[in-house]
Amino acid sequence: MATASSDVAMTEQPSNWVRAEPGVPVIRNVNWGGLRTLYVKEVRRFFKVQLQTVWAPAITTLLFLVIFTVALGRSGRVVTLQGREVHFADFIAPGLIMMGMLQNAFANASFSLLVGKMQGNIVDYLMPPLSTGELIAALIGAAVTRAVLVGCAVWLAMLLWPGVHVIPHHFWAVAWFGLTGAAMLGFFGLLTSIWADKFDHAAAVSNFVVAPLSLLSGTFYSIESLAPAFRAVSHANPFFYVISGFRFGFLGHSDSPILFGALLILVIDLLLWALCYTLLRRGWKLKS
């Protein structure tokens, strides 16, 4: 009798266990532990080589400031924004910060899944009990974190640079355009890592798409000084609205409608998220 009772007790499962058929998820809510683990893993990955991933891009961005302020800023050049004259160094400083953030958000997101495919350990991303949304959140969160770190490093250095004023006037604009802009490039980088089969593919997107769009986004000039045709081209560049809105947070003036730009970047982020979600859910170019 005792043996039979113990056998019954051993076969009984605690009431808080969840029975599920094969293929049915046991974790029915957000897997916060797994999400946090993957996010920390991605942050530690780029932070182990922070000299290359954070400080080197910051120094490169500062070199742009040095070159342009020495070449053009000392002559007393000013830029007109909404009828207000702004010193050239103050004009390009916010754009340089945002440009560095955008490029590094793309670089981080475009590396994550691609290196897994190249090294043959992509299963480490696909097999853990993480939903597609949680996987995207962790990867994009790490990309935005790297972008923010680079932006803060550049901003702190510019605070000490003589003749440059980078004190925010509208912190909400700095935060909104900084985060949504970095997320936009993070999603674009994630799409690149899904599509690319080797590092040359990601480098091609970076060199022929991301770099030209960021350099031709009004970072170094006001589009009000352009011919109407080139001004229309600039308005078709989403990078322009990110940098113009980010600059508005520091100067209080911009050469684009702030509300329109804020909503446009949000819509682009949602569309890119939906595309990333669909491709990851289907396992396009990830699952054999």
Taking the chain, what is the end-to-end CA distance rounded to the nearest angstrom?
Answer: 54
Lowest mean pLDDT among 23-27, 56-60, 113-117, 204-208: 23-27
pLDDT of residue 5: 46
Give yes or no for residue 41 having a pLDDT over 80: yes
Residue 183: inside a domain: yes
- pTM, full prediction: 0.87
What percent of the chain has pLDDT above 70?
Answer: 88
C-alpha span between 258 and 251 (Å, rounded): 13
Identify whether the C-beta of residue 161 lies closer than 8 Å to the C-beta of residue 79.
Answer: no
Identify whether the C-beta of residue 93 lies closer than 8 Å to the C-beta of residue 1.
Answer: no
Q: What is the mean pLDDT of residues 89-94?
A: 90
Give yes or no for residue 255 having a pLDDT over 60: yes
Residue 11: inside a domain: no
The domain total for the chain is 1
Give yes or no for residue 38 having a pLDDT over 90: yes
Residue range(s) defining the domain that contains residue 178: 34-282
Over residues 173-197, the pLDDT tens digits come to: 999 999 999 999 999 999 999 999 9
pLDDT of residue 230: 86
Give yes or no for residue 241 having a pLDDT over 80: yes
Residue 19: inside a domain: no
C-alpha span between 140 and 143 (Å, rounded): 5
Residue 8: inside a domain: no
Q: Name the one residue in this structure whose structure tokens are 């113009």.
A: 244
pLDDT band for position 261 (cuts 50, 70, 90)? very high
Residue 131: inside a domain: yes
pLDDT greater at residue 10 or residue 35: 35
Residue 16: inside a domain: no
Residue 187: inside a domain: yes
pLDDT greater at residue 230 or residue 205: 205
